[in-house]
Amino acid sequence: MSRARRRYYRSIVISLLALAALLWVAVDQFGISGAEIRELALTSLLVLLLVILAAAGAVAAWMLLRKLFRRD
């Protein structure tokens, strides 16, 4: 396994452990229930989807305008 691949896998593992630690702290220290965490995760995913759709719409509009105003 190459050095770059090992570094990549190490970064993935460290980030997953950090996410697990954040969830543990949220539950243990602040008393956030599993239902609230699921609701926050779902809301985050929906916002992410909205941002992706807005970016796709902006690119489509840009391409359409570019095609309309192109000089042949």
Tokens for 42, please give them. Answer: 């779902």
For residues 16 and 14, give the distance between their C-alpha atoms in angstroms, rounded to a whole number: 5
User: What is the DSSP code string of 32-50?
Assistant: --HHHHHHHHHHHHHHHHH
pLDDT tens sequence across 6-55: 999 999 999 999 999 988 888 888 888 888 989 988 999 999 999 999 99
Tokens for 54, please give them. Answer: 């807005």
Cut 0.85: pTM above it = no
pLDDT of residue 72: 63
Which three-class secondary structure state does DSSP give residue 30?
A: helix
